[in-house]
Amino acid sequence: MTLSERPRRLRQTPALRRLVRETRVSRDALVLPLFVREGVSIRENAPGLAGLYRYSPDRIPEAVETAMTAGINAFLLFGIPAHKDREGSEAWREDGIVQQALKTLRSRFPEVILITDVCLCEYTSHGHCGVLTEAGLVDNDQTLPLLAMTARSQAEAGADLVAPSDMMDGRVAAIRQVLDQKGLTQVGIMSYAVKYASSFYRPFRDTAGSRPAQGDRRNYQMDWHNRREASREAALDQAEGADILMVKPALAYLDVVAEVAATANRPVAAYSVSGEYAMLQAAAAAGLLDLEEAIAETAAGVFRAGADILVSYFAPEIATAIKRGDLG
């Protein structure tokens, strides 16, 4: 029997497989999230996230320096304040926790990309992403100026990109307007344009102390049954001035990543969230899979779906896989 098509010819050796690889991943496309908390000389385990830590501002450079040795050059900062109130006022304080970390890192590592999460959930006493009405619902329009103040404060402290994750309508436009008015036109917006009300956020909420005290976030984060709505949300943020569009979470939403990548004319990021990290760690600890292989395979899947940027707690491990030749 003669076969005219033999796809296996190009799978015979590692060198051949690398030669014809369709999805190529660069370490420059990786972003590592970091948690910074109030205090001095603190490096403590992150609850529910084996191998990850919360750092005080004076020790956050250790995490950056270690990641840089693996080839990571971009970092997304989340703040954990010592005090909270109903408005989340610590979020925009000039010497707030993220602002302290930004100033420390900017002076030590002027070449790295520093991205800041813009949301109030870690800073509010009720754990929601904005100001609450008397009925206990998040007031969209009353929240917008607070988010804009937070973004401005972080930009002034040294952020290259601000990343609103609150899912309020109109927040990208509100942030862009304030940044431009303050002469911060060079600071970009990486918007969480498509953020679903996912069950995969729980380890993050334990680490960041951002679980809602009552209710949930389904009236402002997206319904995970919806796909077409993602294109609408991405288009709105793009029109309002977002420079990068993010889809969150990643693994259960690869179809959405592909949809946004096909329709947007902005770089598309995907956030592989805490639950995805914890799930792989738990499966590996139980002997159910090889962690290194699973990290490389899932990262390739996100980029194969169309992401230009991957935010991942496994960023250093992915960078190592690239160097090893499993992803490059």
Q: Summarize pLDDT for 190-204 with one digit per residue, the tens.
A: 999 999 999 999 999
pLDDT in tens, 222-264: 999 999 999 999 999 999 999 999 999 999 999 999 999 999 9
Q: What is the pLDDT of residues 139-173, one digit of tens each?
A: 999 999 999 999 999 999 999 999 999 999 999 99
Give the separation between CA 31 and CA 116, rounded to whole angstroms. 12
Which residues belong to the active site?
Answer: 195, 248
What's residue 328's pLDDT?
A: 74
Beta strands at 113-118 and 161-164: parallel, antiparallel or unpaired: parallel
The domain made up of 23-324 is a member of CATH 3.30.930.10: no
Question: Mean pLDDT, to the nearest integer, of 272-288?
Answer: 97
Give percent of the chain above pLDDT 70.
Answer: 100
